[in-house]
Amino acid sequence: MQGNKRPETMERITNEALAQAFIEEQVAELREQIGDKKVLLALSGGVDSSVTAALLIKAVGRQLVCVHVNHGLLRKGEPEQVIKVFREELGANLIYVDAVDRFLDKLAGVSDPETKRKIIGKEFIDVFAEEAAKLEGIKFLGQGTIYPDILESEQGVKAHHNVGGLPPELDFELVEPVKLLYKDEVRVVGKALGLPDSMVFRQPFPGPGLGVRCVGAITRDRLEALREADAIVREEIGKLPETPWQYFCAIPDIRSTGIKYTDGKGERYMGWAVIIRAVNTVDAVTATVPEIPFTTLCTMRDKIVKIPGVNRVLWDISEKPVATIEWE
Ligand code: XMP
């Protein structure tokens, strides 16, 4: 089995032929390691877990059990895309867990960002462990660990286990087929495996999802408005010839005055503001703000103000530092 150190002789996977060679080699290794046993994998729909799942499906088919937890903080269309690509197109053994109420109930009234993150992280592990406990004969845990995770974990920056903190009775052996690859290589492999571009070239999305963009205590109505606005921003900025590294919106927990016209009669009301954010960065440690054409900003504004409850659109031009990329 491969160790945790990338051999100096390992060629960078930059094209389809190299990707196919890597896939063949991995499939053979995975079959040998897994035999006739079962593998469990938390499939978020992100690049790393999706490519890991696709590789494992190619190697061991339905011996891989994917668990997709919908925590209610995913972007518009994401759970549907995971089901379509993995269950319908790749024939995966996929368990879809609708845990929306469970997460949102736990988060109700919680406004501190780090507490929100902790609740989301803990709840995720609880849901995943509960699903794992229902299954029989699982021997392995698949993980989309990539090489920067290993390097960062060696440097003590972060723990590399994506699903760290599983209870000890779920004592699985790890299967990490892309752990020696850099992100760009994972994307080339994902394309060679036939995953859609919208998955392979997806912009980075934080684990706590829209939870850290629905600023303050999350409410379902504000979260829904955020999800709709986010879909508009992704679509419109996604049409630009060069897309920023990350682009999304946040919705703060404040209201401002707006006017609603019914039968020609204007009435004042309090509505939310949506904040558009787009950044360029290499490593997310610092970030700059790219120019967005004013026409694109206006198109987004016109669509966003039609979302129920929203009456104002702002553009965040803050760089990192002094601001962070996310609002929380
Ligand atoms: P900040 O806001 O710290 O974000 O400038 C830097 C990058 O990290 C992402 N981010 C997160 N990713 N869990 C994640 O998996 C988190 O809690 C989290 N917070 C921020 C953020 O989207 C940006 O790409």
Give pLDDT tens digits for 233-274.
999 999 999 999 999 999 999 999 999 999 999 999 999 999
Q: Is 204 in the pocket of ligand 1 (CB under 6 A)?
A: yes
Give pLDDT tens digits for 23-66.
999 999 999 999 999 999 999 999 999 999 999 999 999 999 99
Structure tokens of 81? 């895309």
- What residues contact residue 224 under an 8 Å CB cut-off, 6+ apart? none
Give pLDDT tens digits for 176-210.
999 999 999 999 999 999 999 999 999 999 999 99
Tell me how far apart the alpha carbons of residues 165 and 93 are, in angstroms, rounded to a whole number.
24
The pLDDT of residue 161 is above 60: no
What confidence tier does 152 reach under pLDDT thresholds 50, 70, 90? confident
Q: Is 206 in the pocket of ligand 1 (CB under 6 A)?
A: yes
The pLDDT of residue 218 is above 60: yes
Region 106-110: mean pLDDT is 98
For ligand 1, atom 19, the nearest C-alpha belongs to 206
For ligand 1, atom 7, the nearest C-alpha belongs to 284
Tell me how far apart the alpha carbons of residues 100 and 105 are, in angstroms, rounded to a whole number.
8
Tell me how far apart the alpha carbons of residues 30 and 26 are, in angstroms, rounded to a whole number.
6
Chain centre to alpha carbon of residue 326: 14
Do residues 217 and 108 touch, judged by C-beta distance below 8 A? yes
Strands 246-250 and 265-279: antiparallel
Atom of ligand 1 nearest to the CA of 117: 17
Give pLDDT tens digits for 262-321.
999 999 999 999 999 999 999 899 999 999 999 999 999 999 999 999 999 999 999 999
The four Cα atoms 280, 284, 286, 287 give a dihedral, to 10 degrees, of 20
The DSSP-derived string for 105-164 is HHHTT---HHHHHHHHHHHHHHHHHHHHHH-SSEEEEE----HHHHHHHHTTSS---TTT
